[in-house]
């Protein structure tokens, strides 16, 4: 995983626009370098949602917890072997790569791709006092439907959409994680989004 | 279809999940970054201790969980914290007897100077006391007496590291994390001869020596307390000890030994 993350960042410094996001990430690198243990707590807090989202939305929700745990164990082990020099490590895609590798191992081990759509979030949405009851019900419905449709996409489209639109990676970072050119990611994204749109507007295809 | 449906990318972003706090703590526990806490009995009442695989990190007077958690946060930041059934092996005995030199501590979050001060304080045996100046000289910073006091005052693991055994140069007890009265109670409980120390200091006497062995000690040193009154020599300072041809005690080291 090391060389992967490192190569990514030099690329980032050359091409990517340096925004607020990259500043925050750079600070996290500094914190990890100066005090790995304290920095790692921050890393879990800042990146936890991203890792959980990738593990549950690309992989099978039933094994997500284990994968999230293992992602951070591997991340910590690798970071503690680096002796404080994290120049060029781009944390977000690096962590996402670890998660994706574990998810792919899991597909392989099970001999099938992830299946179960989930009724998660429902409780959360239902409890949201900021929406009307009708809105909440429509929203649960839509969220679950979308999660379910996502599992029906071809694997590369699903991976690209989750990394880019659910986990919030940039297109370039998504390409790094998927180990393919940016153009390929863009085409996976546009095909995947088109498929989702057509299924969302065509009720006959909703429950495959 | 709902007419007000938000754009697809917004709806996808809503599929993002959060890391719940239980799993956060399990993750940090899995890589050894979770401290545990429990309440223990000490000679000066109940205390809460926090510890991890490396050792004890905090001894706090806050026994109430919320108050303890607050102190923990201020000392340890956002590290994970979970309760424990029992303290690490040896801690209960160490706290009861005041002999805690072998109890592991995790002081990585402290500065190098603080760690040196605490390591020096750890060498003072139960029942004995040393002045702040002694610590300052021992760590090779003879002028940093005030900084030594500050470092001891910020000791995160009092009782385990006996900062209460360091007293003022004038023979009085001085301040303590848990209060001056507790300091005195602890020292009395350990059998320290506080009256003798205070009385000698009041008369300008820093050391006592044995006329038979020619060795001079801190007045609270267990060797010094064995000297019979007939052979006891009172020594004002190190210059006088030199003049009298006395040699420093190897146990209480009135003359700092280079580290």
pLDDT tens-digit series, residues B183-225: 999 999 999 999 999 999 999 999 999 999 999 999 999 999 9
pLDDT tens-digit series, residues A33-44: 888 888 999 999
Q: What is the CATH number of the domain that holds A26?
A: 1.10.1740.10
Beta strand ranges found along chain B (DSSP E):
34-42, 45-52, 55-60, 80-83, 130-131, 166-167, 207-210, 215-217, 232-235, 247-248
Residue B252 and residue B165: Cα distance in Å, rounded? 13
Within 103-162 of A, beta carbons closer than 8 Å to B belong to 120-121, 138, 142-143, 146-147, 150, 161-162
Strand order in the sheet with B215-217: B232-235, B207-210, B215-217, B247-248
Q: Are B14 and A197 a contacting pair at CB < 8 A?
A: no
Minimal CA–CA distance to A149: which of B142, B228, B8? B8
Domain membership of residue A27 (yes or no) is: yes
Task: Give pLDDT, residue A113.
Answer: 57
**CB < 8 Å to B18, chain A:** 48-49, 52
The model carries a pTM of 0.71
Task: Give pLDDT, residue A12.
Answer: 34
Q: How confident is the model at residue B31 (pLDDT cuts 50, 70, 90)?
A: confident
Residue A110 and residue A62: Cα distance in Å, rounded? 12
Domain membership of residue A32 (yes or no) is: yes
Q: Is the ipTM of this complex over 0.90?
A: no
Q: Give the structural domain span for A43.
A: 2-116+153-203
- Averaged pLDDT of chain A: 78
B92: left (phi over 0), alpha (psi -120 to 50) or beta: alpha
Q: Which of A35, A44, A197 is facing B8, going by the closest CB pair?
A: A197
pLDDT at residue B170 greater than cutoff 50: yes
Q: How confident is the model at residue A22 (pLDDT cuts 50, 70, 90)?
A: low
Q: Which residue has the higher pLDDT, B139 or A126?
A: B139
On whether the CB atoms of residues A153 and A195 are closer than 8 A, the answer is yes
Residue B141 and residue B110: Cα distance in Å, rounded? 18
How many Cβ pairs within 8 Å bridge chains A and B? 94
Catalytic residue among B34, B38, B163, B173: B163
Q: Which of A40, A68, A143 is facing B15, going by the closest CB pair?
A: A143
**CB < 8 Å to A52, chain B:** 17-19, 23
DSSP for A42-88, please give it: HHHHHHHHHHHHHHHHHS-HHHHHHHHHHHHHHHHHHHHTSTT--TT
Question: For residue B105, what is the DSSP state?
Answer: B
Number of domains in chain A: 1
Instruction: Spell out the domains of chain B, with CATH numbers in brackets.
Output: 27-97 (3.30.160.70), 112-192 (1.10.10.10), 205-248 (no CATH)
Task: Give pLDDT, residue B53.
Answer: 86
On whether the CB atoms of residues B190 and B126 are closer than 8 A, the answer is yes
Question: For A9-18, A158-167, B62-71, which range has the lowest pLDDT when averaged over its residues?
Answer: A9-18
Residue A197 near chain B (CB below 8 Å)? yes
Phi, psi of A59 (to 5 degrees): -90, -165
**CB < 8 Å to A77, chain B:** 31
Q: Decide if B221 is catalytic.
A: no
Q: Are B17 and A200 a contacting pair at CB < 8 A?
A: no
Domain membership of residue A208 (yes or no) is: no
Domain membership of residue A15 (yes or no) is: yes
Domain membership of residue A139 (yes or no) is: no
A205: left (phi over 0), alpha (psi -120 to 50) or beta: alpha
* Residues B16-34, mean pLDDT to the nearest whole number: 90
Residue B33 and residue B26: Cα distance in Å, rounded? 10
Domain membership of residue A20 (yes or no) is: yes
Percentage of residues in chain A having pLDDT higher than 90: 44
- Averaged pLDDT of chain B: 92
Question: For residue B7, what is the DSSP state?
Answer: P
Task: Give pLDDT, residue B212.
Answer: 93
pLDDT tens-digit series, residues A85-103: 788 889 999 999 999 999 9
Percentage of residues in chain B having pLDDT higher than 70: 97
Residue A205 and residue A196: Cα distance in Å, rounded? 10
Domain membership of residue A13 (yes or no) is: yes
Domain membership of residue A40 (yes or no) is: yes
Q: Which residue has the higher pLDDT, A124 or B110?
A: B110
- Nearest residue of chain A to residue B18 (CA atoms): A49
Q: Which residue has the higher pLDDT, A116 or B120?
A: B120
């Amino acid at each position: 995983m090391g060389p992967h993350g490192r190569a990514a960042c030099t690329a980032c410094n050359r091409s990517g626009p340096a925004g607020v996001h990259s500043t925050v990430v750079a600070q996290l690198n500094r914190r990890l370098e100066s005090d790995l243990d304290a920095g790692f707590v921050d890393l879990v807090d800042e990146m936890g949602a991203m890792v959980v989202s990738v593990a549950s939305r690309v992989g099978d929700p039933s094994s997500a917890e284990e994968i999230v745990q293992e992602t951070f164990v591997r991340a910590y082990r690798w970071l503690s072997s680096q002796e404080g020099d994290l120049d060029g490590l781009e944390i977000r895609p690096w962590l996402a790569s670890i998660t994706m590798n574990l998810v792919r191992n899991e597909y392989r081990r099970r001999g099938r791709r992830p299946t179960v759509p989930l009724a998660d979030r429902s409780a959360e949405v239902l409890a949201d006092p900021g929406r009307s009851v009708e809105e909440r019900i429509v929203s649960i419905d839509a969220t679950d439907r979308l999660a379910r449709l996502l599992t029906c996409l071809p694997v590369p489209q699903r991976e690209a959409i989750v990394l880019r639109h659910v986990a919030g990676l940039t297109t370039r970072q998504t390409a790094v994680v998927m180990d393919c050119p940016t153009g390929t990611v863009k085409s996976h994204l546009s095909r995947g989004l088109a498929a989702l749109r057509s299924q969302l507007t065509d009720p006959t295809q909703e429950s495959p | 279809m709902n007419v007000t449906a938000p754009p697809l990318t917004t709806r996808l972003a809503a599929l993002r999940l959060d890391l719940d706090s239980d799993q956060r703590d399990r993750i940090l526990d899995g890589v050894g970054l979770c401290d545990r806490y429990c309440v223990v009995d000490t000679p000066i009442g109940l205390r809460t201790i926090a510890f991890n695989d490396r050792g004890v990190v905090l001894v706090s007077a806050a026994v109430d969980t919320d108050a303890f958690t607050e102190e923990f946060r201020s000392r340890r930041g956002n590290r994970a914290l979970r309760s424990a059934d029992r303290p690490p092996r040896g801690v209960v005995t160490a706290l009861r007897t005041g002999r805690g030199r072998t109890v592991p501590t995790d002081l990585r979050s402290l500065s190098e100077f603080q760690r040196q001060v605490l390591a020096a304080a750890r060498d003072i045996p139960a029942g004995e006391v040393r002045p702040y100046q002694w610590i300052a000289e021992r760590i090779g910073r003879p002028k940093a007496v005030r900084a030594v006091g500050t470092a001891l005052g910020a000791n995160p693991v009092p009782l385990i590291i006996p900062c209460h055994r360091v007293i003022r140069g004038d023979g009085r007890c001085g301040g303590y994390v848990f209060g001056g009265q507790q300091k005195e109670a602890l020292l009395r409980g350990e059998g320290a001869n506080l009256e003798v120390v205070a009385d000698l200091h009041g008369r300008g006497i820093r050391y006592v020596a044995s006329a038979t062995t020619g060795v001079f000690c801190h007045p609270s040193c267990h060797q010094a307390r064995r000297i019979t009154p007939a052979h006891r020599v009172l020594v004002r300072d190190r210059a006088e000890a030199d003049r009298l041809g006395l040699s420093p005690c190897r146990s209480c080291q009135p003359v700092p030994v280079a580290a």
